[in-house]
C-alpha cells in the first residue's frame, strides 16, 4: 500500500516537472513574437490617439 502511494507521488512529480518544462519552452519560443506584438499595438494606439487630437487643418495639409 505504501509503495503504491510512493509511486503515485513520483508520477505526479514527473508530470508536474514535464508541464513546467513545456511551459518554459513555449515562453522562451514566443517571447520575441510577444514583444513585437506589444510594440505594434503600442505604436498603432499612439498613432490613433494622435489622429484623434490633431487639429483638422493640420490633418488636411
Domain residue extents for the chain: 2-60
Average pLDDT for 26-43: 97
- How much of the chain, in percent, has pLDDT values that exceed 70? 90
User: Looking at the whole model, is its pTM more than 0.85?
Assistant: no
Contact 59, 51 (CB under 8 A): yes
Please state, rounded to an integer, the average pLDDT across all residues of the chain.
Answer: 91
State the pLDDT at residue 25: 97
Band of pLDDT at residue 59, cut at 50, 70 and 90: low
Give the separation between CA 43 and CA 30, rounded to whole angstroms: 20
Amino acid at each position: 500500500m505504501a509503495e503504491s502511494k510512493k509511486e503515485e507521488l513520483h508520477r505526479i512529480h514527473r508530470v508536474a516537472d514535464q508541464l513546467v518544462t513545456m511551459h518554459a519552452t513555449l515562453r522562451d519560443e514566443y517571447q520575441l513574437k510577444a514583444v513585437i506584438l506589444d510594440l505594434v499595438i503600442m505604436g498603432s494606439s499612439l498613432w490613433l490617439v494622435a489622429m484623434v487630437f490633431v487639429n483638422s487643418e493640420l490633418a488636411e495639409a
